[in-house]
Amino acid sequence: MKRFLCGICAFFLFLTVLWPAESVRADPETDAQGQTAALSLSSPSALLMEASTGQVIYEQNADEQRSPASITKIMTLLLIFDELENGNLTMDEEVTTSAYAKSMGGSQVFLEEGEKQTVETLIKCIVIASGNDAAVAMAEHIAGTESEFVARMNERAAGLGMENTKFEDCCGLTDSAGHYTTARDVAVVSRELIERYPKILEYSSIWMEDITHVTAQGTKPFTLTNTNKLISSYDGCVGLKTGSTSVAKYCVSAVAQRDGITLIAVVMGAPDHKVRFADATAMLNYGFGKCSLYVDENKEALEPVEVIQGKEKEAPVDFENEFRYLDCSGQKLSGVEKYIELPEEVRAPVRKGETAGRAVYSRNGEEIGSVAIVYTADVEEADFIDYLEEALTRLLPTA
């Protein structure tokens, strides 16, 4: 009996000590501020960013190059809104669908060759229903050909510092290995689009809307349904774009707003659509649960700086922009202090836009950021005539 019991004990010892343990993550992931991230994502690549500051809150293989599928269209939309801002397009301008645009497969809104739709309608077709045909129609209308439009996409990406991105089409339908981006770069272009052109969120937050096809075959309605299911299921979700192909798997750049905070959650390579939205939801919940945003709009008037030997005695100054600070410690954001650093006097000449000083922000005695204070007018150096006029003004009696 003793021998039997010893054998049993030895067997269990072997199982618990010597047998290889199931693979588990030994070290918890950490977020961008070095804090333990209470997240367990199933997607291979992801990133969470606060939009107004560009601060990364959480990332997982964020620089891994992957096929983006239809989240490619975020860059397409950015170029469309660039053209609108530059006055090269109007929302009510009509776009004619080519045979090539009609031939696009995948997700589409079934535009017919020769069919005309307004720019605004095609924007809705792209961002709500992810229409590949609509994206190509807009690309051709703006640049003449899709290939020329794609060249502009890559140029714009380079200007945004998207070093791990290369586009080969405007809609993401391609399975080419030469068409790739990263979760970080998707967050960057998403931020540029929603911060520079917030009107896009009016369209990306539409759940369902009808458009009308007017063709030689007649007139018929077509319902656009948002491919981003978080619009209807996640509180505060207002966009932005989904995508999926057999190569890219399931991707999303989800934008949500709560309590003055706008978060961008990018998921790439999810195994199915449920995981895509579940991982985006987990990141958004994590961000809204931990982060607080301090905003100082810097609207108070500042005293001008005295100018020595200038045509004017003072130079006006103002804050260059507002100040934003994102805290992700999970603690209540309080105790932020601000003080102004400006010289008592400056020697002429003074140039508009030059830095005069700064507004410094601190918390618990530690500096957390600053905003430049700039001169808002030129002050030229005084010459002989200026000094003569000043002397005469002092000598001559006033009426």
For residue 24, the model assigns a pLDDT of 27
Place 330 in a pLDDT band, splitting at 50, 70 and 90: confident
pLDDT tens for residues 155-189? 999 999 999 999 999 999 999 999 999 999 999 99
70 has catalytic annotation: yes
Q: Average per-residue pLDDT in the chain?
A: 89
pLDDT, mean of residues 287-301 = 94
In percent, how much of the chain has pLDDT > 70?
Answer: 86
- Cα torsion angle, 114, 118, 121, 125, sign: positive
d(CA 54, CA 191): 7
For residue 388, the model assigns a pLDDT of 58
pLDDT tens for residues 54-109? 999 999 999 999 999 999 999 999 999 999 999 999 999 999 999 999 999 999 99
d(CA 193, CA 27): 36
Q: Is pLDDT at 195 greater than 90 in this prediction?
A: yes
Among the listed residues 43, 107, 130, 292, the single catalytic one is 130
Q: Which of 6-15, 254-263, 324-333, 348-357 has the lowest mean pLDDT?
A: 6-15
Place 252 in a pLDDT band, splitting at 50, 70 and 90: very high
130 has catalytic annotation: yes
List of E strands, the chain: 45-50, 56-60, 94-96, 116-118, 208-215, 218-225, 237-245, 249-258, 261-270, 292-296, 305-308, 314-315, 317-319, 323-327, 336-341, 345-347, 355-363, 366-375
Place 391 in a pLDDT band, splitting at 50, 70 and 90: low
For residue 334, the model assigns a pLDDT of 82
For residue 329, the model assigns a pLDDT of 85
For residue 217, the model assigns a pLDDT of 85
Among the listed residues 43, 45, 67, 70, the single catalytic one is 70
Q: What is the pTM of this model?
A: 0.84
Instruction: For residue 39, say if its preceding peptide bond is cis, omega within 30 degrees of 0.
Output: no
Place 246 in a pLDDT band, splitting at 50, 70 and 90: very high
pLDDT, mean of residues 102-131 = 96
pLDDT, mean of residues 316-323 = 96
Among the listed residues 73, 124, 241, 249, the single catalytic one is 73
Q: Which of 10-19, 107-116, 297-306 has the lowest mean pLDDT?
A: 10-19
For residue 266, the model assigns a pLDDT of 98
Tokens of 175: 């399975």
Place 17 in a pLDDT band, splitting at 50, 70 and 90: very low
Q: Which of 11-25, 75-89, 155-169, 269-283 has the lowest mean pLDDT?
A: 11-25
The single-letter DSSP state of residue 350 is: B
- Distance from the Cα of residue 113 to its chain's centroid: 34
Domains and CATH numbers, the chain: 45-290 (3.40.710.10), 305-384 (2.60.410.10)
Place 383 in a pLDDT band, splitting at 50, 70 and 90: confident
